[in-house]
Structure 1
Amino acid sequence: MHWNLNTRYKILLEINNAVITNFSINDFFKSLSSELRRHFEYDRLSIFIYDSEAQSLTHLTLADGVQPEGFEKHVRPLASGAVAKMVIQSREPVILEDLAKYSEHPSIIAMANAGLTSTMAFPLIVRNRILGTMHMSFKKRPADMAGLKEIFTDVSNQVAIAVGNMVTFTQLEEEKQHLVREKQYLMSATDDYQPDNFLYVSQVMLDIMKLVERVADIDAPLLITGETGTGKDYIARYIHSISPRKDHLFVKVNCPALTPSLFESELFGHVKGAFTGADAARTGRFEMADKGTIFLDEIAELPVDLQAKLLQVLQEHQIERVGDNRRIRTNFRLIAATNRNLADSIEDGTIRQDLYYRLNIIQIQLPPLRERKEDIPYLIKKMNEIESAGVNRPKPKYPDKVIDFLTDYHWPGNVRELKNLIKRMVILNPGELISLPDIQKLVNVSDQADKHSFNEAATLAETMAETEKLCIKRALEQTKGIVGGPEGATKILDVPKSTLQYRIKKYGLNPTDYI
């Protein structure tokens, strides 16, 4: 078929009008293929985005028409002999009029096996940069391949501009979403991490911190092990803070909270409309951690079926948002933590062996507080100073017999338990001399029991809840029932108002009772 100048102009104008207003990838491709089918007979239309760094091709979206076997893979390497590679290397259209003559390349064989006999491919070039390639294939070879090449060279120029605009728009939208999500994440972070607040004088901790500083600037995965309350979260944050990634986000993921329904959306993100309730696009944790650090806390609690999905991301450093078929590269450093023995978890089938080997390249094992007793007097002194200054209260006084008792105590909750006890004493006994009975009562050790034993009837959670409730009551008493503001209990307890209101309701307290 011959296309005169007027016909060509009309076709190009109609294609331009069809695609120029579309910034959604799927809508763009649907409009393009629909308009092209009005004017041309073809059996497969596809567009690839070229990643020069990874030397790979990514489907812009699912191709229109025939789907050769193996072509459903979303991302594939730019293999030697592939039509797209010929186009990218030459920066010129490539026409294969008889696919049967090119039997040496698997992708061409797959096309021929699907009944396609010929294909043409065009570079998508904007400002001298190759964005990708556009392909049109046929079961019956068109009579005027030269004429098609001529008009599709013009079409590909239009498509290149549209794809370039769309890619730029998509990147800007993703950056906007990333900034919004990053702001939300930073605003929701309420931890009290301070680099100078990780306290130790013992040789075992000095040796561990030397190891920490040696591995901080390495991008290899890192596994931190230790009992609950030993400071795994703190070590992870410290490593990030002294690493080359320190100017980017430290993103924490609480693995036990990831249900199967939340896993992909939380970690990988989703596009608007991906599922019921997805009223807006969401950036996932791995994408947020690009150029930064992602911390997978209590990774052994992740269900085995979800571990396989996680392993794939750790291997490829690419994610796919829910509802989107594009692969997004993300450059993160992985730190994981667990309070379990992962070798035992492999034996009982709760941890995949391949995931364990992926994580266990460098391991830092934190000792329980009972194995670093020389740190305890120093911790008491420094924590007492920090917590007192934090609420502007005079420091409680700890006599030697109390310090000796606390040093001998076996601390099932480790440093976290000690910190909570010190904080409680600052709030309940500011400036007072702490007596041994006071401390024994707080750690649930009776006068009749051995001073090293812990009351087995009371769990750590129960003890901490009781402590928390008592601290809130005392703060409400001191503020005469005022919850928020500069004169309120939130100032004393150093917690957000919403958090304190939730705790007050949880423990059945009524601020008006303290007026």
Structure 2
Amino acid sequence: MGKQRGNLERKYPTRRSMHWNLETRYRILLSINNAIITQTSRVKLFQALATEIHKHFRYDRLSINLYDPETESLSYFAAADGIAPEGISSKESRPLAKGSVAQMVITSKSPVIIEDLNRYEDLPSVISMLDSGLTATMAFPLMVRNRILGSVHFSFRKRPEDMHDLVEVLTDVSNQVAIAVDNMLNYVALAKVNENLERQKRFLMVNGNDAYHRDHFFYASPAMAEIMSQIELVADTDASVLITGETGTGKDYLARTVHNLSSRRDHLFVKINCPALTESLIESELFGHGKGAFTGAHVQRVGRFEMGNGGTVFLDEVGDLPANLQAKLLQVIQDGEFERVGESRAIKVNIRIIAATNQDLENSMRNGSFRRDLYYRLNMVTIHTPRLKDRPEDIALLVERLTKLQAKQMNRPAPEYSDLALEKLIHYHWPGNVRELKNLVIRLVILRPGMRISEADIDKILSTFQTEQQIPVSTLADAERTHIERALIKCKGVLGGPHGAARLLGMPRSTLQYRLRKFGLNPHDYQRGEGTS
């Protein structure tokens, strides 16, 4: 340990043997360039580089380290070639050890040449290198535009006789390697951006029926004005938000408003409808899976949490999340990482969680069906959406604006409402909240286009609603199944798009898919316009 370390960054005099003359060095660089220029993966680039260098001189170990200045850590560009000393970690990432050869290269941005490793046993990892039979090493910085990417290391069992000349040659090689590594990292980053864009495109196409328009959220009541003020305060933080309220009160719209007012607005808003998840595939849906993770997993799949990286993940009806998934969700929120099904590599994500429920989660905690620790993680800020009947000031405005919107979408003249008709709607108890009101408006636009709506018309349609609510559940389910089947027949099994069954039924595609699973319906059975009985 007390041995003199000496000046590791040796300055060798300029002397070139015929073996390394300018013409030879040029041919070496050209052959290396031709070998690596067409490679499109780290592993293939490294293998091509190792193969080509071996043609011109022998080494016993070659490795390329990448340096992360933010975490002051190293990772291998690809698996090292040649001898693998036991003490040298092969983990994906490791701290930059103080006093190590890599640390000296990266700090000084200059080559470090050790002709005799026995003289530097106090350096980290040198003992392991000696134990594996290595006696000399040469390390060069990988520099691009005055930015250090990492280091390239050549190690030897026996010190090369022409080591002085080799330093000059490998300095040129390291410059070329730096350019290739930088190009590869940029290529991989661009490929990842394109993959994310394609993934977002597919997601948006599938969920296009959930289109959000902030100016379609109408309110006039003090209660809703207070909620919107609260949303504006919390939106641009990363605090988890729990939105509570009955079905149909607009929890989805409030969640999207939080997202669109936040700094995450340029990233995806990924909605997860917890009750609609198939239990057997729920982990794959949320976390993705690796190729071959289970029967039928022919390709790697990106899950909803990875898709939402940088954006917002909305857990709709989170109270229906199974207990085993509650634990995994808690871990994702706490650690900011997860593993795909069938893989052991941790994937880091930066997401904001918004959850919604129509259940009493405090009661669910007491009966053990919802985790207490998860509840407190989700419940940093609570927003409660009031029932429609508790904010009557909004009803007339909602009727007016929704009627105009639906009439425009259906290309029909909008009906008009008498004062008594509006009064009737204001005093109705609205068990289905805004969703029920919207359905009523849609029926009126279809059945009374351009007509004046009287109190009698409202009485008639409300009585129809009440009759539907009194139908036994089994009968209502049968009616719903038949209704969906007719839509599938008409649309020939197509679910999404302007001519799909979801659009015809006036529901999001994700909701339709859930109901198809609920009723055991397969859209492929209707592709020719014929359904099963």
- TM value normalised by structure 2: 0.69
Report the counterpart of residue 101 of structure 1 in structure 2. 122
Q: Does structure 1 residue 42 correspond to structure 2 residue 65?
A: no
Residues 289, 466 of structure 1: CA spacing in aligned structure 2 closer, same or farther, 3 A cutoff?
closer
* Aligned-pair CA distance for 1:410: 5.6
| Counterpart contact for 2:339–2:347, Cα < 8 Å | yes
Radius of gyration: which is bigger? 2
Residues 42, 462 of structure 1: CA spacing in aligned structure 2 closer, same or farther, 3 A cutoff?
same
Letter in structure 1 aligned against 2:223: V
Letter in structure 2 aligned against 1:28: L
Letter in structure 1 aligned against 2:176: Q
Between the two proteins, what is the percent identity of the paired residues? Answer: 42
Q: Which of 347, 363, 374 lines up with 2:382 in the alignment?
A: 363
Letter in structure 2 aligned against 1:129: R
Aligned partner of residue 443 in structure 1, secondary structure: helix
Report the counterpart of residue 257 of structure 1 in structure 2. 277
Residues 472, 237 of structure 1: CA spacing in aligned structure 2 closer, same or farther, 3 A cutoff?
same
Residues 422, 85 of structure 1: CA spacing in aligned structure 2 closer, same or farther, 3 A cutoff?
farther
Q: Which of 36, 51, 57 lines up with 1:19 in the alignment?
A: 36
Q: Does structure 1 residue 394 correspond to structure 2 residue 414?
A: yes
Aligned partner of residue 87 in structure 1, secondary structure: helix
CA RMSD in angstroms comes to 5.3
* Aligned-pair CA distance for 1:125: 1.3
Aligned partner of residue 384 in structure 1, secondary structure: helix
Q: How far, CA to CA, are the matches of 1:11 and 1:132 in structure 2?
A: 22
Aligned partner of residue 236 in structure 2, secondary structure: coil
Report the counterpart of residue 8 of structure 2 in structure 1. none
* Aligned-pair CA distance for 1:100: 3.8
* Aligned-pair CA distance for 1:22: 0.7
* Aligned-pair CA distance for 1:340: 4.2
Letter in structure 2 aligned against 1:159: V
Report the counterpart of residue 177 of structure 2 in structure 1. 159
Residues 134, 489 of structure 1: CA spacing in aligned structure 2 closer, same or farther, 3 A cutoff?
closer
Q: Does structure 1 residue 458 correspond to structure 2 residue 473?
A: yes
* Aligned-pair CA distance for 1:141: 6.8
* Aligned-pair CA distance for 1:89: 1.9
| Counterpart contact for 1:47–1:63, Cα < 8 Å | yes
| Counterpart contact for 1:396–1:426, Cα < 8 Å | no
Aligned partner of residue 4 in structure 1, secondary structure: helix
Q: Which of 222, 237, 247 lines up with 1:218 in the alignment?
A: 237
Q: How far, CA to CA, are the matches of 1:109 and 1:310 in structure 2?
A: 44
Alignment deviations for residues 288-322 of structure 1 (CA, whole Å, 9 cap, x no partner): 54554343434454555556665565556578889
Greater mean deviation of Cα atoms: 376-385 or 342-351: 342-351
Residues 178, 68 of structure 1: CA spacing in aligned structure 2 closer, same or farther, 3 A cutoff?
same
Report the counterpart of residue 176 of structure 1 in structure 2. 194
Report the counterpart of residue 4 of structure 2 in structure 1. none
* Aligned-pair CA distance for 1:53: 4.1
* Aligned-pair CA distance for 1:213: 0.8
| Counterpart contact for 2:289–2:343, Cα < 8 Å | no
For structure 2, list consecutive stretches of 5 or more residues without a partner in the other structure.
1-16, 491-495
Letter in structure 1 aligned against 2:462: I
Q: Which of 348, 354, 364 lines up with 1:335 in the alignment?
A: 354
Report the counterpart of residue 110 of structure 2 in structure 1. 92
Q: Does structure 1 residue 384 correspond to structure 2 residue 407?
A: no
| Counterpart contact for 2:242–2:382, Cα < 8 Å | yes
Report the counterpart of residue 219 of structure 2 in structure 1. 200
Letter in structure 1 aligned against 2:142: L
| Counterpart contact for 1:58–1:326, Cα < 8 Å | no
* Aligned-pair CA distance for 1:234: 0.6
Aligned partner of residue 314 in structure 2, secondary structure: strand
Greater mean deviation of Cα atoms: 234-243 or 198-207: 198-207
Q: How far, CA to CA, are the matches of 1:275 and 1:46 in structure 2?
A: 37
Letter in structure 2 aligned against 1:131: L
Residues 192, 438 of structure 1: CA spacing in aligned structure 2 closer, same or farther, 3 A cutoff?
same
Q: Does structure 1 residue 443 correspond to structure 2 residue 462?
A: no
Aligned partner of residue 163 in structure 1, secondary structure: helix
| Counterpart contact for 2:244–2:384, Cα < 8 Å | yes
Report the counterpart of residue 31 of structure 1 in structure 2. 48
| Counterpart contact for 2:392–2:426, Cα < 8 Å | no
Aligned partner of residue 364 in structure 1, secondary structure: strand
* Aligned-pair CA distance for 1:233: 1.6
| Counterpart contact for 1:263–1:306, Cα < 8 Å | yes
Residues 321, 372 of structure 1: CA spacing in aligned structure 2 closer, same or farther, 3 A cutoff?
same
* Aligned-pair CA distance for 1:62: 4.0
Letter in structure 2 aligned against 1:102: L
* Aligned-pair CA distance for 1:466: 7.8
Residues 469, 23 of structure 1: CA spacing in aligned structure 2 closer, same or farther, 3 A cutoff?
closer
Aligned partner of residue 422 in structure 1, secondary structure: helix
Aligned partner of residue 416 in structure 1, secondary structure: helix
* Aligned-pair CA distance for 1:11: 5.4
Q: How far, CA to CA, are the matches of 1:357 and 1:345 in structure 2?
A: 13
For structure 1, list consecutive stretches of 5 or more residues without a partner in the other structure.
446-453, 477-483
* Aligned-pair CA distance for 1:457: 2.4
